[in-house]
Structure 1
Amino acid sequence: MAVSATLHCLTGCAIGEILGLMIGTALGLGNLATIAVAIGLAFLFGYALSTLPLLRAGLGLGAALTVVLAADTLSIATMELVDNLVMAVIPGAMEAGLVNPVFWLSMMLALTVAFFAAWPVNRHLLARGKGHALTHHFHGAEPEGARRYIPDLATSTLVAAIVAFMLGGLVVSVADELEGPPSDTAHAVPRDGSGTREFSAPPR
């Protein structure tokens, strides 16, 4: 149960972390700003994924958020602390960019270390009837009315999607590295017609 709870938190954190780093890279933010965005989104998605089953089970939004905040905050905070610490320690991980194998390999390592750091936290909370023990008995309840349209996302499905996405990012970045830098053997001629070419045209 502790493993399942930790994986559930990890999927939300992973979505937020990757999205935050993508946003930070796209906007050209510094490391601290990028980390702040990633942490904020990790908490947002972590809470959101835990709130959906409770809403589906019949709880109101306020009651669901109260339960989720009590159940997930310590686990997510542990993951975020460890995950970002690992990313900061690995040389070049934060500056690598999304089309760089270093980024994806570092993220995989960071999330793995974060899982093993948060697992004993969740185990400790569950043993005392806290953490995900607060939400577990709401899972599997038959939804009524419009609540049946609230997504029921299994942890295994979320984990598979995250792993596939990260492996896809790694494959794309490795392929980009193998292509190498673009060739500089040919240069375009300026619009005014001046300049030279690195290649010669065949005679007429």
Structure 2
Amino acid sequence: MPLQQLAKQIEHAFAPIRQVLKPILSSPTVLGVWTLFVVASVGTLWWDLRNRNQALPSMMKAVWTFVVLYSGPFGLAIYWYSGRTQIPHDSVGRRGLRSTAHCYSGCGAGEIVGITLAQGILALSIGWVAAVTFGFAYLFGYALTIGPLMQDGVGFTEATWDALLSETPSITIMEIFAIGTDLLLASQAHMGQILFWMALVFSLSIGFLVAWPVNVALVKYGVKEGMSDPSEMGGDDSSSSQAQAAD
């Protein structure tokens, strides 16, 4: 009962914002424009990865692809600021962005699968939608950390423990806000409605924003190492690009 009352209080508090956002996120025009932005952003990312940033690890290329697919030009701006070999210098803020992007790529996929399955296909109650979506987000998020660690020779138990310690705070904060935002805006929507998908997209980016300061703190205090500095990988690509420009 207290949880239901809290949910109603939160819903009431955010009612004015919801009234503004729901018509926007239900608009076919907004969907069409957003789709064009995403296509253009992904195309720009892939062009840049192929022509100027081939030195980036394959995993990070996949991570940035997911980030831009989820968040369009917002995701592209994050890549441009923190993920390219051409960044002027690295910083805790940039490392936090890359760590958030890594977490986001897995958790975002889990959220999409969870909400589509629980709400869109099975039409479960709000509580079950939240529980199932959290479960998939944790599963995908941990897998994206455990898998690479095991490929590097770390045992399963150690890799799992490391993932639990380093990723749980980020995933938890990200998904509380992302899933909460989605359910606040579109808990009654079904898969055939534009609101279902646009609220999901919007909620993903909200999750990224609130998880970034958490990852900055985790990196700063050594809980997470953060992803490698891309500016240390760019010598060959930069020289190649300059040579091609001179030709």
Matches within 5 A, 1:90-105: 90=185, 93-105=186-198
Structure 1 Cα separation of the partners of residues 108 and 191 of structure 2: 15
Which whole-Å deviations, capped at 9, do the CAs of 1:38-58 have from their partners, x for residues lacking one? 101100100001111100100
> Comparing both structures, which one devotes a greater share of its residues to helix?
2
Correspondences of 1:1-204 after superposition (within 5 Å): 1-24=95-118, 25-90=120-185, 93-131=186-224, 133=225
- Asked if structure 1 preserves the Cα contact closer than 8 Å seen for 2:99 and 2:227, the reply is no
Contact 2:133/2:179 (<8 A) preserved: no
Partner of 1:159: none
SS state at 1:99 partner: coil
Show structure 1 runs of 4+ deviating over 2 A: none
Where structure 1 has 5 or more consecutive residues not aligned to the other structure, the ranges are: 138-204
SS in 2 for 1:55: helix
% identity of equivalent residues: 34
| One-letter amino acid of the structure 1 residue matched with residue 193 of structure 2 | N
> Equivalents in 2 of 1:109, 1:28: separation in Å?
21
Unmatched 5+ stretches in structure 2: 1-94, 229-247
Residue deviations 1:91-129, cap 9 Å, x none? xx1221222211111111111111110001000110111
Partner SS for 2:178: helix
Aligned to 1:189: none
Deviation of 1:21 after TM superposition, in Å, equals 1.4
CA distance in 1, matches of 2:149, 2:182: 33
Size of the aligned set, in residue pairs, is 133
Alpha-carbon distance in 1 for matches of 2:167, 2:213: 14
**Max Rg structure:** 1
Q: Deviations over 1:127-170 (max 9, x none)?
A: 11113x1x758xxxxxxxxxxxxxxxxxxxxxxxxxxxxxxxxx
TM-score by length of 1: 0.62
Give the aligned residue type for 1:57: D
Q: 1:27: Cα distance to partner?
A: 2.0
Aligned Cα RMSD in Å?
Answer: 1.5
